[in-house]
Amino acid sequence: MMRRVVIVGTGLIGTSIGLALRRAEFAGKITGIDQSAEEGAAAMRVGAVDYAVVSEYEAVAACVEADVIVLAVPVLGILDWMRRLAPVLGPGQLVTDAGSTKRTIAEFAGPLFGGAGQARFLPGHPMAGKESGGAARAEGTLFHGAMWLFTPTQEQGELERVWRGWVERFGARAMDLDPARHDRICASVSHLPQMVSTAMSAMFADLFAEAPELAGDFEAIGGRAFREMTRLGASPYSMWRDVAFTNTEPLAGALLALEQRLAHLRENLKTPELREEFRKANAFRSRG
């Protein structure tokens, strides 16, 4: 049922999906589409795709012939491709995606997919990544042990089951969530850590600028926690702009909650309230 796959966006995630398919012994044809000829060539070089396509015409032609199309670009790009592909696809074809937010995508899919004469759409979100993207950093084992969230709002058919089967052969654990709930949870456990890391990196940039003679040593002084807290400072704006744009309210809520928590600590550096926060954090880390 799945013989021809098209991966739209051969960056870190798209190329890793191609490599994971090959690792899981997918024997069909994989075509990669990327607006950057270099990224497409890199994905082909590492064996993630058989063909790399740049031109709009060839891209749409490849999708028209595909059984499964995986959209692995930033969220607003996914919406673009959904709008562009829906009119040229039909029954027996499945579109799925790897976007970081799901409510907007699931709503958008409603009128475009799943109806009579339309292709199907399965919103997906592999919880894997790195602070820096690109085909060159892709790995066929990237999803091993990771969660792969799905937020279906339409009845599931055979192609959805086939794709879920491949996801499990990637070594990922599939889980279904309501799209709005997905976005609220991810706002806290995934999008908030990114914003904290961006804010701390930007804050340290200012601090280092004030003490240039020590700048080279601050990281050594801070040690492991400093590196961990700022690692995601390298993440690309292009991806996170779309996350912030399509998950604004839940993310703003998570940020405000953390701001209030930090202010509470700040106002209680010398009171027993500090112990309460440490007690709660200790219990959280040692749970289960």
Pick out residues in 118-147 that bind a copy of itself (CB under 8 A).
Answer: 127-129, 131, 146-147
Rounded distance between C-alpha atoms, residue 245 and residue 105, angstroms: 12
CB of 60 or CB of 244, closer to a copy of itself: 244
For residue 191, give both structure tokens. Answer: 């999008």
139-141-142 Cα angle (round to 5): 70
* Order of strands, sheet of 147-150, starting from the edge strand that comes earlier in the sequence: 124-126, 147-150, 173-176
Rounded distance between C-alpha atoms, residue 232 and residue 141, angstroms: 21
Please identify which residue in 149, 164, 179, 183 interacts with a copy of itself, judged by CB under 8 A.
149
Return the residue matching tokens 């060539």.
41
CB of 96 or CB of 100, closer to a copy of itself: 100
| Minimum gap (Å) between residue 150 Cβ and a copy of itself | 13
How many Cα atoms occupy the beta-carbon half-sphere of 55 within 13 Å?
Answer: 3
CB of 153 or CB of 201, closer to a copy of itself: 201
| Minimum gap (Å) between residue 62 Cβ and a copy of itself | 31
CB of 121 or CB of 240, closer to a copy of itself: 240
Rounded distance between C-alpha atoms, residue 188 and residue 182, angstroms: 10
| Minimum gap (Å) between residue 5 Cβ and a copy of itself | 25
Question: How many residues bind to a copy of itself according to rule CB under 8 A?
Answer: 87
| Minimum gap (Å) between residue 119 Cβ and a copy of itself | 28
Which 157-216 positions form the footprint of a copy of itself (CB under 8 A)? 173, 175, 185-186, 188-190, 192-205, 207-208, 211, 214-216
| Minimum gap (Å) between residue 76 Cβ and a copy of itself | 12
130's enclosing H/E stretch is none
**Ramachandran bin of 163, using left for φ above 0, alpha for ψ from -120 to 50, beta for the remaining angles:** alpha
Please identify which residue in 3, 45, 83, 280 interacts with a copy of itself, judged by CB under 8 A.
280
Which 212-271 positions form the footprint of a copy of itself (CB under 8 A)? 214-223, 225-226, 228-237, 240-241, 244-245, 248, 251-252, 255-259, 261-266, 269-270
Which 47-86 positions form the footprint of a copy of itself (CB under 8 A)? none
| Minimum gap (Å) between residue 213 Cβ and a copy of itself | 11
166's enclosing H/E stretch is helix 158-169
Rounded distance between C-alpha atoms, residue 246 and residue 277, angstroms: 32
Residue positions counted in the chain: 288
